[in-house]
Structure 1
């Protein structure tokens, strides 16, 4: 393993207008499991197939270890999203596939619990993480992919200043089926989004 200099030793906490982002901790298990469980039918059409042990503590420990390893290697940064004011866990967002060198790019993936959808929380999280990626991490390009039928995700990306660049055929296996995805991207020197 190696640690890249662009990632600070301490884990970042990011503040948006509506959400606070921080890296997941082992103690988040119960709140995460409850939110994911009540949101299962809402999330499953847009995610990889859920594992039979999805909510087991052993699977949670593997997930946390994976997040920590990716962060230590400079490959990805996973965040949980908390609603400002109330402090409730509302979802998660990841900056993954972080590449420096000539690419200076990464990909964003996210999920939100059903009770919190449609409140602008995810748009705020995407904007907040994008500012961090372009500023602190000095990335040049951030990509996101979404299934064409996922109109909510399309709205989030467009409100956050991402532009559709094309269609990725049979891009990811989602809920057991290979799905086409729209590719969206935002470039560091794109005009700021209010």
Structure 2
């Protein structure tokens, strides 16, 4: 696991846990690492998301504008700026997932609430070419370990549509447990969709989710 931030046990610094580089872990799909998002991701981000529209659009919240408009190179600039600002204020941890050194997706710990709650959600997407090889599971494990240790959080949840079998599998392999079903929770693909809620707390991770993957043979350290 990442080293614990020195100082307040509640991680109340201006931006605890940010920025950070996590990993790498070798999984079946290749070598997975996580790093802070950067402005220079724009070209890769736009290319992958526009190519993978059919693969991604089914699972993401409905937002104004066409898919191409929302995922153009220029659209990344405003997203990067907003996420970086939230990270500097301690409200999120936005990362890029890399596979064998190349851009492969995003993972974000968002809506961070501190004080006595110390909770957040985690959301992620992985390029279609990187799916199915343990890439998402490794990224989730690395980021959740970091959020509990260096960012001082206590509980992290993830919401997933029941039909999104691949994402449900990622959460189960990473060690999350199902807590319940949120009825008509988010507007996704043009309609209000049910979502399962999965969660994990700091007491449940033991030596860390990444270490659990290593011990189970699903990953190894590089």
How far, CA to CA, are the matches of 1:191 and 1:59 in structure 2? 36
The alignment partner of 1:42 has SS state of: helix
Question: CA, structure 1 residues 16+142, in 2 after alignment: closer, same or farther (shift >3 Å)?
Answer: farther
Question: CA, structure 1 residues 191+74, in 2 after alignment: closer, same or farther (shift >3 Å)?
Answer: closer
Shift, 1:191, TM fit: 4.4
Given candidates 34, 41, 49, the residue that maps to 1:36 is 49
How far, CA to CA, are the matches of 1:130 and 1:16 in structure 2? 14
Structure 1: gaps spanning 5 or more residues: none
How far, CA to CA, are the matches of 2:17 and 2:135 in structure 1? 28
How far, CA to CA, are the matches of 2:166 and 2:176 in structure 1? 14
How far, CA to CA, are the matches of 2:164 and 2:72 in structure 1? 29
Counterpart in the other structure of 2:78: 62
How far, CA to CA, are the matches of 2:18 and 2:172 in structure 1? 32
Deviations 1:82-134 (A, max 9, x none): 01xx3111111000011111111110000011111000000000000010011
How far, CA to CA, are the matches of 2:175 and 2:16 in structure 1? 27
Given candidates 174, 181, 184, the residue that maps to 1:170 is 184
Structure 1 length-normalised TM? 0.91
Of stretches 72-81 and 118-127 in structure 1, the one that deviates more from structure 2 is 72-81
Shift, 1:7, TM fit: 2.2
Contact 1:108 1:143 in 2 (8 A): yes
How far, CA to CA, are the matches of 1:98 and 1:47 in structure 2? 20
Counterpart in the other structure of 2:95: 79
Q: CA-atom RMSD, angstroms?
A: 1.6
The alignment partner of 1:189 has SS state of: helix
Counterpart in the other structure of 1:11: 19
Structure 2: gaps spanning 5 or more residues: 1-11, 27-31, 213-222
Counterpart in the other structure of 1:27: 40
Structure 2 length-normalised TM? 0.80
Shift, 1:160, TM fit: 0.5
Which ranges of 4 or more aligned residues in structure 1 deviate by more than 4 Å?
Answer: none
The alignment partner of 1:17 has SS state of: strand
How far, CA to CA, are the matches of 1:9 and 1:139 in structure 2? 10
Question: CA, structure 1 residues 142+8, in 2 after alignment: closer, same or farther (shift >3 Å)?
Answer: closer
Counterpart in the other structure of 2:120: 106
Q: Give the length in aligned residue pairs.
A: 189
